[in-house]
């Protein structure tokens, strides 16, 4: 059976609830306060079986300006709107505001219902009709039917029913294969059953016994019973007014504005990119970072509006914005939203969500604007490609992609498959369906090879780099699985060699130095030099070996911890260095201080070595320089310590 949802809209007291009653026989004003005050406060729900067999769900909204937030929650996701205008009063402020809201939320179709015609004469009715055509021009209701009824006498009600039937037949049914999403508009306890939530299923479907999740809190529960228009069902689908009886969730854990989903599908967000239409009759220009009320689904929170493409948005203009929200909400691309002023509460604009999980953007950046332009005007496939591209070298999972584009999972999967077949992307995690753009993967591969090359250049005597070391040199978004795939791939293509846990380039050979025993010879020569060791240059000249090769061996020995590099060309053998260090500490412990000449005397070395050495001891924080003298750090001679 086809389901269509109709919402009422219109100024307070214009006869919306009476009209619903005339159509269905149900009084949707249930609250005591509503009865006493004669106004609607909360949303009302009922349904009507149309002659063609379509079931029309009806949401009755309040007209009072104080309850516009309930009205927005009610009409978000409806298929048809009945804009109700009392013939004896004509167009009033909330007539216009509700019409703006329906337009901003992109309600597809509707009709205008002039009520209370029993109270006016023909002339007045014609005047009101003129007024109506004026306000609906340039809106989706431009050529909508205008019906005249009296809920008191019943005049016009049969015509209204057949018009609703015709319009409903023109409404396209919703696809039930999107991600399941139900913005909650009511939460209550039913005796003997427990927690029940209701809402309009925006997309997907839900069956008895399934596990569901409440967002943003993340609480999970089970579907115990399911109802669509008061009838128990095994499965509810998109477009239906659905009541879900939840097992394992207390009513205190849920509130209106929450969204029911399946676990691990939708992710709440506090940062949203959008295209905002600022209404022509907004009171003043919208400045960068202005805080406004932000309505999406049945949720209301505050948003700071960052203007991305201009300094301010004047009434009547539209622009790209980034919304920073006070509380997390569930939102998907193509969703509609409304913004209302936070001081003078009035609808000032609304628009379409382009990305519900963006990065923070720089303002006035042409590349950011171009990307958002593509999300606004491009196809779903283009949006998908853009998100894969922007996931850079880390790649992106199917789950994340489904939160970034408005497409059912099977469509996203089929596009991914096609892109993979064309070689545009690689599947890096078949379990999570994680993909990486081929260009990004090439970049990652080049980066890994460059890192290896640089390592070999710096330390030619090392056989290679361990996997862990190489991973730390790659971007942090590269996870273990992707890294493993990269390494295996590089090994398979013989672009790197894995040998004794070390990765190296195939061209890298530990230089022939080892064969000549040069490494050992350098070590011996430096050790023999004691506190006046030879430099790489001196040794290379003495032995007629290439200077770079000898210097590389010195660096290798430093890396191995055998030599200590003091400065520039001065390398000491660790044995000589440690012996001197011990001698210096012993001296300072008994003499408290040492002058440079005294230190020179201790080393019996020339100034060329003495000055860099004593400065090195300062540098490694063994000694502290006080004028011409040095003392041990961290002892009683240390004035710094005394002060503290
Ligand atoms: N004479 C006459 N009175 C009507 C008609 N429709 C509604 N009324 C009266 O107008 C008053 C307001 O009607 P409601 O249906 O409560 O108006 P509403 O639009 O639902 O008001 P809110 O929900 O508070 O915005 C009630 O006293 C109704 O009896 C009608 O067709 N003819
Ligand atoms: Mg009402």
CA torsion sign for 274, 279, 280, 284 is negative
Taking alpha carbons only, the member of 184, 417, 154, 158 closest to residue 296 is 184
Q: Are 48 and 58 in contact (CB under 8 A)?
A: yes
Query: What is the structure's pLDDT at 508?
Result: 83
Helix (H, G, I), strand (E, B) or coil at 342: coil
- Among 8, 11, 12, 13, say which to mutate for ligand 1: greatest number of ligand atoms within 8 Å of CB: 13
Q: Are 162 and 133 in contact (CB under 8 A)?
A: no
What does the alpha-carbon distance between residue 78 and residue 62 come to, in Å, rounded to a whole number?
Answer: 15
Show the tokens assigned to 463: 């056989």
How far, in Å, is the centroid of ligand 2 from the Cα of 35? 10
Show the tokens assigned to 623: 């000694």
Residue 299: DSSP 8-state = E
Identify the H or E element spanning 296.
strand 290-296
- For residue 175, give Cα distances in angstroms to 166, 206, 221, 238: 21, 13, 25, 7
Instruction: Encode burial over 63-82: b for 16+ CB neighbours within 10 A, e otherwise.
Output: bbeebbbbbbbbbbbbbbbb
Query: What is the structure's pLDDT at 644?
Result: 36
What does the alpha-carbon distance between residue 349 and residue 294 come to, in Å, rounded to a whole number?
Answer: 10
The half-sphere exposure of 271 on its side-chain side, counting CA atoms within 13 A, is 5
Residues 6 or more apart whose CB falls under 8 angstroms from that of 389 comprise 437, 439, 440
Enter the pTM of the model.
0.80
Q: Is 64 annotated in the active site?
A: yes
How far, in Å, is the centroid of ligand 1 from the Cα of 115? 8
CA–chain centroid gap for 13, Å, is 42
CB atoms within 10 A of CB 160: 19
Closest residue to atom 21 of ligand 1, CA basis: 13
Phi–psi pair at 275, nearest 5 degrees: -110, 115
Helix (H, G, I), strand (E, B) or coil at 616: helix
Indicate whether residue 44 lines ligand 1 (CB < 6 A): no
Which residue stretches of 90-204 are H helix? Answer: 93-104, 122-136, 157-170
Pairing of the two strands 241-247 and 205-207: unpaired
Mean pLDDT (10-residue bins), the chain, 644 residues:
94 98 96 93 95 96 94 94 98 96 96 98 96 95 97 98 97 87 94 92 95 96 94 94 94 93 96 97 94 96 96 97 97 96 86 96 95 96 94 92 92 92 88 89 95 87 88 92 93 92 86 69 95 95 90 88 94 96 95 95 93 95 93 65 40
What does the alpha-carbon distance between residue 491 and residue 471 come to, in Å, rounded to a whole number?
Answer: 15
Indicate whether residue 152 lines ligand 1 (CB < 6 A): yes
Q: Are 642 and 633 in contact (CB under 8 A)?
A: no
CB atoms within 10 A of CB 295: 28
What does the alpha-carbon distance between residue 398 and residue 429 come to, in Å, rounded to a whole number?
Answer: 10
How far, in Å, is the centroid of ligand 1 from the Cα of 116? 8
Indicate whether residue 15 lines ligand 1 (CB < 6 A): yes
Show the tokens assigned to 449: 């090879």
Which long-range contacts does 422-425 make (Cβ < 8 Å, 24+ apart)? 424/385, 425/388
Q: Is 16 annotated in the active site?
A: yes
Pairing of the two strands 80-86 and 55-60: unpaired
Q: Which of 3, 11, 14, 17 is catalytic?
A: 17
Which atom of ligand 1 approaches the CA of 119 most closely? 1
What does the alpha-carbon distance between residue 604 and residue 516 come to, in Å, rounded to a whole number?
Answer: 33
How far, in Å, is the centroid of ligand 1 from the Cα of 615? 93
Indicate whether residue 62 lines ligand 1 (CB < 6 A): yes
Report, in this order, helix, strand and coil percent for the chain, each rounded to 5: 35, 30, 35
What does the alpha-carbon distance between residue 448 and residue 540 come to, in Å, rounded to a whole number?
Answer: 33
């Amino acid at each position: 059976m086809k389901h269509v949802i109709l919402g009422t809209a219109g100024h307070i007291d214009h006869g919306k609830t009476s009209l619903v009653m005339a159509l269905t026989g149900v009084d949707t004003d249930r609250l005591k306060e509503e009865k006493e005050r004669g106004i609607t406060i909360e949303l009302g729900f009922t349904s009507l079986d149309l002659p063609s067999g379509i079931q029309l769900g009806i949401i009755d909204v309040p007209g009072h300006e104080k309850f516009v937030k309930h009205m927005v929650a009610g009409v978000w996701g409806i298929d048809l709107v009945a804009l109700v205008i009392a013939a004896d009063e004509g167009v009033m402020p909330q007539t216009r505001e509700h019409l703006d809201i329906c337009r901003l939320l992109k309600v597809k179709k509707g009709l205008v219902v002039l009520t209370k015609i029993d109270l006016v004469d023909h002339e007045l009715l014609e005047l009101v009709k003129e007024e109506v055509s004026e306000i609906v021009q340039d809106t989706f209701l431009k050529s909508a039917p205008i019906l005249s009824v009296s809920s008191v006498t019943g005049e016009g009600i049969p015509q209204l029913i057949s018009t609703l039937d015709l319009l409903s037949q023109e409404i396209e049914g919703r696809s039930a294969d999107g991600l399941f999403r139900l913005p909650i508009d009511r939460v209550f306890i039913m005796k003997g059953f427990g927690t029940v939530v209701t809402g309009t299923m925006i997309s997907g479907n839900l069956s008895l016994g399934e596990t569901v999740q409440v967002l943003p809190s993340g609480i999970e529960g089970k579907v115990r019973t399911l109802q669509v228009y008061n009838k128990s069902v095994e499965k509810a689908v998109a477009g239906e007014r659905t009541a879900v009886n939840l097992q394992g969730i207390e009513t205190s854990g849920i509130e209106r504005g929450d969204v029911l989903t399946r676990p691990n599908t939708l992710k709440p967000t506090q940062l949203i990119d959008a295209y905002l239409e600022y209404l022509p009759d907004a009171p003043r220009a919208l400045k960068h970072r202005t805080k406004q009320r932000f309505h999406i689904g049945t949720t209301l929170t505050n948003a700071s509006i960052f203007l991305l493409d201009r300094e301010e948005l004047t009434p009547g203009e539209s622009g790209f914005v980034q919304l920073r929200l006070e509380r997390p909400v569930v939102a998907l691309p193509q969703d509609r939203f409304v913004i209302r002023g936070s001081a003078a509460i009035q609808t000032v604009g609304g628009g379409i969500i382009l990305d519900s999980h963006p990065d923070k953007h720089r303002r006035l950046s042409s590349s950011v604007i171009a990307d958002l332009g593509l999300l606004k005007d491009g196809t779903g496939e283009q949006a998908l490609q853009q998100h894969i591209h922007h996931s850079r070298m880390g790649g992106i999972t199917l789950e994340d992609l489904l939160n970034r584009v408005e497409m059912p999972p099977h469509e996203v999967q089929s596009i991914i498959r096609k892109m993979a077949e064309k070689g545009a992307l690689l599947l890096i995690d078949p379990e999570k369906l994680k993909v990486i753009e081929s260009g990004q993967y090439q970049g990652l591969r080049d980066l890994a090879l460059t890192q290896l090359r640089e390592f070999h250049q710096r330390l030619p005597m090392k056989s290679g780099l361990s996997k862990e070391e190489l991973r730390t040199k790659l971007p942090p978004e590269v996870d273990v699985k992707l890294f493993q795939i990269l390494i295996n791939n590089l090994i398979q293509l013989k672009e790197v060699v894995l040998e004794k846990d070390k990765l190296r380039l195939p061209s890298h050979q530990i230089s022939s130095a080892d064969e000549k025993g040069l490494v050992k010879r350098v070590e011996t020569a430096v050790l023999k030099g004691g506190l006046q060791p030879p430099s790489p240059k001196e040794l290379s000249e003495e032995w007629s070996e290439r200077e770079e090769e000898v210097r590389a061996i010195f660096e290798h020995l430093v890396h191995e911890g055998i030599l200590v590099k003091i400065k520039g060309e001065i390398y000491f053998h660790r044995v000589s260095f440690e012996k001197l260090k011990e001698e210096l500490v012993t001296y300072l412990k008994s003499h408290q201080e040492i002058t440079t000449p005294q230190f020179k005397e201790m080393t019996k070395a020339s100034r060329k070595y003495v000055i860099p050495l004593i400065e090195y001891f300062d540098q490694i924080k063994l000694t502290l320089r006080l004028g011409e003298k040095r003392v041990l750090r961290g002892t009683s001679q240390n004035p710094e310590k005394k002060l503290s």
